[in-house]
């Protein structure tokens, strides 16, 4: 059984060490207002998925569902309505040529909002592909924006990989930011990090942040992804990230096709 990890406290621009040596992420997603601390997180556990409300938000303020490959949630946090979907292909079969976690989001500002910033993450483990444990893999992040994007808003994302075995963490890698992106219909890609050894298994996280200008009634559409791939061909990571907002991009057939039970 894998131990869930909350990953609480991720702040935009801070060091993003999202997994402690003795803890694992399983499949999880979090959205949090950096100023107020309001938000939510949804974690996979040994018996299903569990919602935790953060700050002044109440569990009843979040409408959500989750299964082995998708976490979807709708919630209004400090006047901003988030309609977000986190995805993972950690359980995909047959074994894909890449590993990936992503966040697809639509953020709508209410009539009475303030300038603020949010942090987010989608994480999953344990991944045992691509390649073999002693081989290198590539790590990269990307950020895309849709046609709906308010002036003054911005979004950025980065990828983090933590490899581990039965004795604990064996390596950690982190990309630079993909972004910040500050307009509609734009793309930003991080540097490509070469991870010397994939390790027996690893956890992968797509972490990022939003700066929101507080323009009432505006909407912001964005999509971010963290990807691992084999070093050859070297263009595989960027190429696979070329089609934002496609729900099936990394959502392949699942080993756990039935929905997991949701905890109250």
Q: Specify the residue for token string 């849709």.
A: 146
Q: Specify the residue for token string 């929101």.
A: 212
Secondary structure of residue 98 in the 3-state scheme: strand
What is the predicted pLDDT for the residue at 193?
94
What's the distance, Cα to Cα, between the start and end of the chain in Å?
21
Q: CB-based contacts of 225: which residues, under 8 Å, 6+ apart?
A: 100, 101, 102, 103, 141, 142, 157, 206, 241, 250
What is the four-CA torsion angle of 149, 104, 95, 123, rounded to 10 degrees?
Answer: 110
pTM: 0.84
Q: pLDDT of the chain along its 264 residues, tens only? A: 232 333 333 333 333 444 443 345 699 999 999 999 999 999 999 899 999 999 999 999 999 999 999 999 999 999 999 999 999 999 988 888 889 999 999 999 999 999 999 999 999 999 999 999 999 999 999 999 999 898 899 999 999 999 988 788 888 999 999 999 999 999 999 999 999 999 999 999 999 999 999 999 999 999 999 999 988 755 555 555 444 443 333 333 333 333 333 333
What is the predicted pLDDT for the residue at 165?
84
What are the helix (H) ranges across the chain? 236-240
Q: Specify the residue for token string 């303030």.
A: 114
Contact 224, 144 (CB under 8 A): yes
Q: Is the Cα dihedral 3, 71, 224, 209 positive or negative?
A: negative
Q: Specify the residue for token string 């998925």.
A: 49
HSE-up (13 A, CA, CB side) for residue 196 = 3
């Amino acid at each position: 059984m894998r131990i869930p990890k909350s990953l609480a406290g991720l702040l935009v621009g801070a060091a993003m060490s999202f997994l402690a040596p003795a803890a694992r992420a399983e499949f999880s997603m979090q959205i949090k207002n950096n100023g107020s601390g309001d938000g939510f997180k949804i974690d996979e556990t040994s018996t299903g998925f569990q919602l935790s409300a953060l700050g002044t938000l109440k569990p009843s303020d979040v409408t959500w569902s989750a299964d082995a490959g998708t976490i979807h949630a709708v919630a209004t946090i400090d006047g901003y309505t988030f309609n977000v979907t986190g995805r993972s292909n950690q359980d995909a079969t047959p074994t894909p040529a890449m590993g990936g976690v992503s966040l697809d989001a639509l953020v709508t500002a209410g009539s009475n909002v303030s300038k603020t910033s949010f942090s987010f993450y989608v994480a999953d483990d344990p991944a045992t592909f691509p390649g073999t444990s002693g081989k290198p893999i590539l790590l990269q992040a990307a950020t895309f924006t849709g046609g709906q994007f308010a002036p003054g808003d911005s979004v950025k994302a980065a990828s983090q990989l933590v490899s581990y075995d039965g004795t604990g963490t064996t390596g950690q890698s982190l990309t630079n930011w993909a972004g910040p992106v500050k307009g509609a219909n734009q793309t930003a890609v991080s540097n490509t990090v070469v991870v010397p050894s994939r390790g027996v298994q690893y956890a992968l996280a797509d972490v990022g942040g939003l700066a929101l200008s507080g323009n009432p009634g505006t909407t912001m559409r964005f999509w971010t992804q963290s990807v691992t791939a084999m070093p050859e061909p070297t263009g595989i990571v960027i190429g696979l990230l070329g089609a934002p907002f496609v729900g099936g991009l990394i959502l392949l057939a699942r080993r756990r096709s039935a929905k997991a039970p949701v905890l109250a």
